[in-house]
Amino acid sequence: MAETATKEFLHNLHELPQTVKDSCFRLGKEPESEREESQATFHNLFLHIHSVRVHVRTLKPTLTFGLGLAATASFLITLITGVLLMVYYKPSTDLAYQSIKDIHFTVSTGRFIRNIHRWASQLMVLVVLLHMARVFFTASYKKPREFNWLVGLGLLVITLALSFTGYLLPWDQLAYWAITIGSNIANSPRELTDAIGITKFVDPGGFQKRLLLGANYVGQDALIRFYVLHVFVLPLALVTLLGVHFWRIRKDGGLAKPEDPPGGLAEWGGERRPVFQPLATKTYGLMALVKGKRPPVNRGPENTVMSWPHLFWAELSVFMVTVAVTLILAFYSDAPLKELANAAIPENPAKAPWYFLGLQELVSYSAFMGGMLIPMIVLVGLALIPFLDRRPGGEGTWFGTSHERSVFWQSLFFACAVTVGMLAFTVNYGWLRNWFPNIQQLWIIVINPGSLFVLIFAAWSLFILKRKNSVRLAAVSLFTCFLVGFTLLTYFATVHRGPNWHFYWWPSQWPAH
Amino acid sequence: MKDPSRIYRWLLLVASVVTVVYLVGAAVRENYLAQWRTVQQEYRNILREKATDDRGRELLAKFRVEMKQASIPALGTVDRCVTCHNGVDDPRMADVEQPHRTHPGHILDKHPVDRFGCTVCHHGQGAALMFREAKADDVFWDYPLFPPEMTESTCVTCHDAEKLPPDQIPLLTVGMRLYREKSCGSCHKLGGRGGALGPALDNEGAKTKHQLIMTNLRPPHTTWAWHNAHFRDPGGVVPDSLMRNPTVTRQEALALTTFMLSQWKRDVPESYLAPDKIEQKYRALHPTPLTGEQVYRQYCTACHGNGTYTRWDKKFSRFIPAIRGVSLISTATREYLQANIEQGRPGTQMPAWGPHAGGLLREEITGVIEYLRAGALAPPAMTALTLHGDGSNGLSLFLRNCGGCHGMNGRGGMAPEIGNPVFQQAAADEFILRTIRNGRIGTAMPAFQRTEAPAFSDQDTADVLAYLRTLGEAKSQKAMSQNATSGTPSGGKP
């Protein structure tokens, strides 16, 4: 008897690699049948948020360009490199700058990791904006996906906040003065309350600024506050909302896709083949029978493919492309770091990070209108889109409804003309206070290029609404105007604004100072 | 249907290859191809060549290729220069090319690297490990590496420059001398002493390039390039500058620049201060007064020249009084000179020089007054003035004869501001009468009662005096009602 136990023990020892592998991986081999492929997805903690089958149309690269995935990938890259940076970064005004310098010079490959972090975060903001544009132009916000659009807006705000809070952490001239601008934008309701004279009683601007900075100036309190937001609170919020965002994709029936022709894709020459092979065992288990709407799996199964491997190849490749792009950028271009923050030497021009520069241009006309009101109007407007445009049709296709493409181009040119014209006008002729030096500030808050943009674009959108008799087309025109305005203003404030926010044709013309 | 994920598999392959290439590339570039590593490997070869005796072999055996630094918490610096400059304290390396060469001179004998680091003398970005960023003249760093010849400007951080051997600090010595000779103190304060037309220079060395106007300078935009250019052409560098061209040679400009950069009130722990520096600090509490001539040369010459004749200044657009002119010092009392020197002429370019303004000691002012009055002649007897002056006639006489130079209401113009409150208070009637009657030799002030063909009669002179006194009353009343805005002469106001 002892002999057999020893043999048993040795046999188990010998089989150790195989048994360990079998315990980790249920299947233990490449899935060979569709049932096994579905199990690979369904039984995996990390993968089971995906549906087991996906519609083949959603895999088309030119439908989504993988933008949502790229945004998630950028976030993950930023997260990982961020944790690595946290090992060396010290969030104290005395130590922060030097710790960044030490990461750059002495930490092994620290320079590269910091560059990756910076580039991935910039990429994330850009991709998130492009993703929003893609979702809009493919009308993927329509029923039942309205809530997911709102979640996406929440994610946009958190992404911008993450980037903004991270901007301060190096504690260099760039950081200090950009956040000074940002906090003064938070202070901008003062412009309105001062103009009406109620600041003594009601001071939302001052409150917002103090909430942001933890003091009346940018200092140690602001640094710690921003650090906590940046490494804990905001990533937690982002991950939570991301979870909701992905979950909603499932519950809303997967990515929005174009309509199938009535006879299924086979009508278009795709091969017809039986999908389900009869097997001895059941392919699915009944979990419960409840009253209610059935899940929107109302497309023919021959239009779907297994997630394993097709969807996961797609996801992996998008992740990898994002990583590759980030690495290339990080290899050739260093993350900026200017001199130590010095409250006595303002940067001139002191510019906010690029995604806020368009806003800063508007703030240069009126702090309250450009800094508070217009962003609120934009956010509320974006949030309302799925609730105002409820006519179904055209989802999942770029410019899916009729005339959408032409309205898009018309709005593009219109918005370009209006934006460039307004900018040229203000550069050459100034604005109200140049002509009427003693004019009341309230006039300027109400009538300034920012508010005029809003009015003109809204008017254009109403014009399209009437003319084309379509809410969707009105939304397209307004959204296009917003995109064009945002892009042109960001470009203008980046390239053509120099010291004292004066106009220059090119940065090489800035006076040396 | 055709394989929907084929394109993604290809994309994945390409992206993965690119990723691996760049990851490996970055790992190699950042770690194995780091500039400092190459430099240290070169140095090891040099050590090998020079390992001809026991000491040499020992040094070779101990040498490791790794980051090196001198971390000095007392000075708040971490200097990694020695990562590349390995041979800086090895005398055998004197003939080797940089960065392996020995430090020139015998500085390191008394200033070892592990106690002082490098940046306290040389500036630059000590924490950097690439030369471009250590030199820091076109990266974002406030204090780039000094050009080698200007390094001596930092000696004064711990030393009294006057006590160091002049051949160790050639530029600084010349610079200090020139500062006194060119009478820079006439307009600029140093250590609380000097004029008020230009900015105080006490912390000039602490300024970064962002605090200097670089508009008219060609790159490189460094602080020493600015100072150099400014000494050779002040008006060309600073728009609307009142500074006269000091007319210095290239070498002298360099010396003055070094002197300017040495002006930095930097806090170092007392253990780093040389004994003579500590003595200098104590001496500053009880300074020895300069002689009158020294005061005049250092603080007056720039505007007044040698003082015996009036100078037309183009930038001020006025005549600067001849304060050692025979006529003036023969008629002015000591009290008059003292009042003018101590209080200056508020509203004009003449600043106050008293202990609480220009920083001169009482004894120094007395000394300079004696210096000014050297050679004073006894004034000729003057008929006592018994006539009563008529201010309105005095006004019309003033307008026709005096206003052209002395300005309406005596506010000054090409000639001194006789409505100035300090003048009005300090000048006695007799002083003014004598000046009007006899004029001032060597200046543009004519004698109005020349014996051959007098322009004024005694009554005329009395009338003008009466008018002038009304200017004083008006000015002082205006000054009292405006709560006295005197004391800060604005540059450029005539």
> Residue A235 sits in which domain range?
53-255+304-392
Interface of B with A in 118-157 (CB under 8 A): 127-130, 133, 140-142
Give the mean pLDDT of A229-254. 94
Q: Is A339 in contact with B140 (Cβ distance < 8 A)?
A: yes
Q: Is A328 in contact with B18 (Cβ distance < 8 A)?
A: yes
Q: Which tokens in the block code for residue B273?
A: 């201060």
pLDDT at position B156 over 70:
yes
- Best probe of the A interface among B8, B16, B141, B223, by most A CBs < 10 A, is B8
Distance CA A70, CA A128 (A): 9
pLDDT of residue A295: 55
Q: Could you tell me the pLDDT band of residue A298, with boundaries at 50, 70 and 90? A: very low
pLDDT at position B443 over 90:
no
3-state SS record for chain B: CCCCCHHHHHHHHHHHHHHHHHHHHHHHHHHHCCHHHHHHHHHHHHHHHCCCCHHHHHHHHHCCCCCCCEEECCCCEEECHHHCCHHHHCHHHHHCCCCCCCCCCCHHHHCCHHHHCCHHHHCCCCCCCCHHHHHCCCCCCCCCCCCHHHHHHHHHHCCCHHHCCCCCCHHHHHHHHHHHHCCHHHCCEECCEECCCCCCCCCHHHCCHHHCCCCCCCCCCCHHHHHHHHHHCHHHHCCCCCCCCCCCCHHHHHHHHHHHHCCCCCCCCHHHCCHHHHHHHHHHHCCCCCCHHHHHHHHCHHHHCCCCCCEEECCCCEEECCCCCHHHHHHCCHHHHHHHHHHCCCCCCCCCCCCCCCCCCHHHHHHHHHHHHCCCCCCCCCCCCCCCCCHHHHHHHHHHHCHHHHCHHHCCCCCCCCCCHHHHHHCCHHHHHHHHHHCCCCCCCCCCCCCCCCCCCHHHHHHHHHHHHHHHHHHHHHHHHCCCCCCCCCCCCC
DSSP A267: G
Give the mean pLDDT of A403-410. 93
Q: Are B293 and B375 in contact (CB under 8 A)?
A: no
Which residue did the predictor score with more confidence, A410 or A53?
Answer: A410
Distance CA B54, CA B426 (A): 82
Residues of B whose CB is below 8 A from A512: 214-215, 217, 219, 221
**Looking up tokens 């993703």, which residue turns up?**
A131
| A90 at B interface, C-beta within 8 A | no
Q: Is A108 in contact with B30 (Cβ distance < 8 A)?
A: yes
Give the mean pLDDT of B60-68. 93
Q: Is A337 in contact with B140 (Cβ distance < 8 A)?
A: yes
pLDDT of residue A269: 47
Which residue did the predictor score with more confidence, B206 or A282?
Answer: B206
Q: Is B22 in contact with A324 (Cβ distance < 8 A)?
A: yes
Distance CA B237, CA B226 (A): 8
pLDDT of residue A266: 56
pLDDT at position A164 over 90:
yes
pLDDT at position B491 over 50:
no
CA atoms within 13 A on the CB side of A456: 19
Chain B nearest-CA residue for A318: B12
Taking the alpha carbons at both ends of chain A, their separation in whole angstroms is 93
Phi, psi dihedrals of residue B122, rounded to the nearest 5°: -95, -15
Who contacts B213 (Cβ-Cβ below 8 Å, separation ≥6)?
A513, B237, B238, B239
Residue A149, domain member (yes or no)? yes
Chain B nearest-CA residue for A336: B140
pLDDT at position A126 over 90:
yes
pLDDT at position B493 over 50:
no
Collapsing DSSP to helix, strand or coil, A264 comes out as coil
**Looking up tokens 């579905």, which residue turns up?**
A38
Q: Are A327 and A334 in contact (CB under 8 A)?
A: no
Give the mean pLDDT of A363-388. 93
Q: Which tokens in the block code for residue B16?
A: 């993965």
Residue A455, domain member (yes or no)? no
Q: Is A320 in contact with B19 (Cβ distance < 8 A)?
A: yes
Q: Are A75 and A294 in contact (CB under 8 A)?
A: no
- CATH code: domain of residue A88: 1.20.810.10
Q: Is A313 in contact with B211 (Cβ distance < 8 A)?
A: no
| A343 at B interface, C-beta within 8 A | no
Considering chain A, what is the average pLDDT of its residues? 89
Residue A186, domain member (yes or no)? yes
Closest to B175 in 3D by CA, of B113, B100, B259, B64: B259
| B399 at A interface, C-beta within 8 A | no
Residues A446-488: pLDDT tens digits? 999 999 999 999 999 999 999 999 999 999 999 999 999 999 9
Distance CA B419, CA B348 (A): 11
Residues of B whose CB is below 8 A from A99: none
pLDDT at position B248 over 90:
yes
Lowest mean pLDDT among A51-60, A124-133, B109-118, B271-280: A51-60
Collapsing DSSP to helix, strand or coil, A54 comes out as strand
Residues of A whose CB is below 8 A from B129: 105-106
Residue A267, domain member (yes or no)? no
pLDDT at position A268 over 60:
no
| B15 at A interface, C-beta within 8 A | yes
Chain B nearest-CA residue for A174: B140
Lowest mean pLDDT among A257-266, B151-160, B285-294, B431-440: A257-266
Chain B nearest-CA residue for A102: B127
Closest by Cβ to A112, choosing from B26, B78, B211 = B26
Angle between helices B292-299 and B362-373 (to 10 degrees): 90
pLDDT of residue B388: 82
Q: Are A313 and A47 in contact (CB under 8 A)?
A: no
Which residue did the predictor score with more confidence, A281 or A225?
Answer: A225
pLDDT of residue B417: 86
Q: Name the pTM for this structure.
A: 0.85
| A276 at B interface, C-beta within 8 A | no
Closest to A188 in 3D by CA, of A346, A374, A351, A344: A374
DSSP A278: P
Question: Which whole-number Å values give the CA distances from B121 to A411, B151, B157, B255, B261, in the listed order?
Answer: 63, 6, 9, 17, 12
Residue A218, domain member (yes or no)? yes
Rounded to a whole number of angstroms, the distance from the CA of A6 to the nearest CA of chain B is 47
Q: Are B322 and B442 in contact (CB under 8 A)?
A: yes
| A98 at B interface, C-beta within 8 A | yes
Q: Could you tell me the pLDDT band of residue A236, with boundaries at 50, 70 and 90? A: very high
Give the mean pLDDT of A384-399. 89
Residue A274, domain member (yes or no)? no
Q: Is B19 in contact with A98 (Cβ distance < 8 A)?
A: no
Q: Is A338 in contact with B12 (Cβ distance < 8 A)?
A: no
Closest by Cβ to A270, choosing from B1, B210, B221 = B1
Chain A nearest-CA residue for B218: A512
Who contacts A78 (Cβ-Cβ below 8 Å, separation ≥6)?
A117, A120, A121, A124
How many CB atoms are closer than 10 A to CB A190? Answer: 19
Distance CA A309, CA A303 (A): 16
Residue A82, domain member (yes or no)? yes
| A56 at B interface, C-beta within 8 A | yes
Global ipTM: 0.85
Who contacts A82 (Cβ-Cβ below 8 Å, separation ≥6)?
A117, A231
Size of interface A-B (CB pairs under 8 A): 105
Residues B7-43: pLDDT tens digits? 999 999 999 999 999 999 999 998 889 999 999 999 9
| B26 at A interface, C-beta within 8 A | yes
Who contacts B383 (Cβ-Cβ below 8 Å, separation ≥6)?
B458
| A228 at B interface, C-beta within 8 A | no
Q: Is B210 in contact with A101 (Cβ distance < 8 A)?
A: no
pLDDT at position A88 over 60:
yes
| B30 at A interface, C-beta within 8 A | yes
Residues B393-436: pLDDT tens digits? 889 999 898 888 888 887 888 888 888 888 888 888 888 888 88
Distance CA A469, CA A467 (A): 6
Residues of B whose CB is below 8 A from A300: none
Rounded to a whole number of angstroms, the distance from the CA of B239 to the nearest CA of chain A is 13
Query: How remote is the C-alpha of A366 from its chain's centroid?
Result: 27
Q: Are B40 and B98 in contact (CB under 8 A)?
A: no
Q: Is A111 in contact with B30 (Cβ distance < 8 A)?
A: yes
| B27 at A interface, C-beta within 8 A | yes
Does the bond joining B220 to the residue before it have cis omega, within 30 degrees of 0? yes
Chain B nearest-CA residue for A113: B26
pLDDT of residue A307: 87
Residues of A whose CB is below 8 A from B217: 512
Give the mean pLDDT of B348-369. 92
Residues A14-29: pLDDT tens digits? 999 988 988 888 777 7
Residues of B whose CB is below 8 A from A338: 140
Rounded to a whole number of angstroms, the distance from the CA of A112 to the nearest CA of chain B is 7
Chain B nearest-CA residue for A108: B31
Residues of B whose CB is below 8 A from A112: 26, 30
Query: How remote is the C-alpha of B373 from its chain's centroid?
Result: 30
Rounded to a whole number of angstroms, the distance from the CA of A111 to the nearest CA of chain B is 8
Q: Is A317 in contact with B213 (Cβ distance < 8 A)?
A: no
Distance CA B92, CA B90 (A): 5
pLDDT of residue A273: 53
Q: What is the largest CA-CA distance in chain B?
A: 128
Closest by Cβ to B19, choosing from A270, A323, A511 = A323
pLDDT of residue B487: 42
Q: Which tokens in the block code for residue A422?
A: 């307004």
Q: Is B129 in contact with A327 (Cβ distance < 8 A)?
A: no
Give the mean pLDDT of A316-320. 95
Q: Could you tell me the pLDDT band of residue B485, with boundaries at 50, 70 and 90? A: very low
Closest to B187 in 3D by CA, of B355, B338, B358: B358
Rounded to a whole number of angstroms, the distance from the CA of B221 to the nearest CA of chain A is 9
Exposed e or buried b per residue across A225-261, where buried means at least 16 C-beta atoms within 10 angstroms of its C-beta: bbbebbbeebbebbeebbeebbebbeebbbbbbbebe
- Structural domains in chain A (count): 1
Distance CA A46, CA B468 (A): 98
pLDDT at position B71 over 70:
yes
Give the mean pLDDT of A221-229. 96
Residue A418, domain member (yes or no)? no
Q: Is B18 in contact with A108 (Cβ distance < 8 A)?
A: no
pLDDT at position A140 over 50:
yes
Phi, psi dihedrals of residue A371, rounded to the nearest 5°: -90, -30
What is the enclosing helix (H) or strand (E) of A304?
A: strand A304-306
Distance CA B415, CA B310 (A): 10
Rounded to a whole number of angstroms, the distance from the CA of A297 to the nearest CA of chain B is 20
Considering chain B, what is the average pLDDT of its residues? 88
Give the mean pLDDT of A264-280. 55
pLDDT of residue A99: 95
Collapsing DSSP to helix, strand or coil, A283 comes out as coil
Q: Is B11 in contact with A337 (Cβ distance < 8 A)?
A: no
